[in-house]
Amino acid sequence: LESGAMPLLEDTASRIDGLFQKRSSVLTQVNQLKTSMQSVLQEWKIYDQLYDEVNMMTIRFWYCMEHSKPVVLSLEALRCQVENLQSLQDEAESNEGNWEKLQEVIGKLKGLCPSVAEIIEEKCQNTHKRWTQVNQAVADQLQKAQSLLQLWKAYSNAHGEATARLKQQEAKFQQLANISMSGNNLAEILPPALQDIKELQHDVRKTKEAFLQNSSVLDRLPQPTESSTHMLLLGPLHSLQRAAYLEK
């Protein structure tokens, strides 16, 4: 019996040893699978984070661009719009690296999860298309705003210079109006006074023409509302009225 039991014990031991080897192999495979799944999960987390960032950034850019348009046109409003759009453009350039990182992660996921590769790639392509569109829209609007800003600066400077000249001419008019025409020296006072008035009238006419010429620039400055257009025209109109009154 003892000699007959030995093969049975050896066979049992061999089976047990085989089971332990299989167990060890299964544990190794489980650990490998666990490591692999952790790697996949980590890549998915990176993908989700990057995609959310670029997607939200695209949405925010559209919103900021649409709300950067000034309600009432002014030099300060245009300057603020240009600064905001330039800031968006700078931010876009600094975040281009996120798209490269996203493409890199998608490349890894295509190898790890080929069944969903096409879906995530198409999803990112659509988002990148919207990103490209909003960047182009920002660039176009920035260029337009910069042109309007330069135009407004030119208008503002010219209007300021003409207004300053008109103020000097009004002061000159008051000075001439206060000349006393009584007394024995009227013959001495009147000729130079008339000459001064003639020269002043000529200068006022030139100032009036400057206002008229400068006001034509307003036709190239779009206004979103009738009320803001009225406010914009009020200053030049008042200056023209002052010049016309002084010319008479």
pLDDT band at residue 217 using 50, 70 and 90 as cut-offs: confident
CA distances from 91 to 54, 87, 94, 243 (A): 12, 6, 5, 48
- CATH domain 2-247 topology: Methane Monooxygenase Hydroxylase; Chain G, domain 1 (1.20.58)
Q: Please report the pLDDT score of residue 138 as a whole number.
A: 94
The pLDDT tens digits for 74-119 are 888 889 999 999 999 999 999 888 888 988 888 888 887 778 878 8
CA nearest 56: which of 106, 108, 82, 91?
A: 91
The pLDDT tens digits for 153-175 are 888 888 888 888 888 888 887 88
CB-based burial, 235-247: b 16+ in 10 Å, e otherwise: ebeebbebbeebe
**Higher model confidence: residue 120 or residue 235?**
120
pLDDT band at residue 181 using 50, 70 and 90 as cut-offs: low
Lowest model confidence (mean pLDDT) among 140-149, 157-166, 220-229: 220-229
Q: What does the alpha-carbon distance between residue 131 and residue 172 come to, in Å, rounded to a whole number?
A: 61
Can you give the pTM of this predicted structure?
0.67
Helix (H, G, I), strand (E, B) or coil at 189: helix
pLDDT band at residue 226 using 50, 70 and 90 as cut-offs: very low
The pLDDT tens digits for 36-47 are 778 888 888 988
Q: What does the alpha-carbon distance between residue 232 and residue 217 come to, in Å, rounded to a whole number?
A: 12
**Higher model confidence: residue 21 or residue 188?**
21
State whether the Cα torsion 24-30-34-36 is positive or negative: positive
The pLDDT tens digits for 29-75 are 787 777 777 888 888 898 899 999 999 999 999 999 888 888 777 88
State whether the Cα torsion 165-171-173-179 is positive or negative: negative
Q: Please report the pLDDT score of residue 42 as a whole number.
A: 87
The pLDDT > 90 percentage for the chain reads: 21
Q: Please report the pLDDT score of residue 131 as a whole number.
A: 92
pLDDT band at residue 122 using 50, 70 and 90 as cut-offs: confident
CB-based burial, 8-28: b 16+ in 10 Å, e otherwise: eeeeeeeeeeeeeeeeeeeee
Q: Please report the pLDDT score of residue 228 as a whole number.
A: 46
Residue tagged 């167990």 (tokens): 23
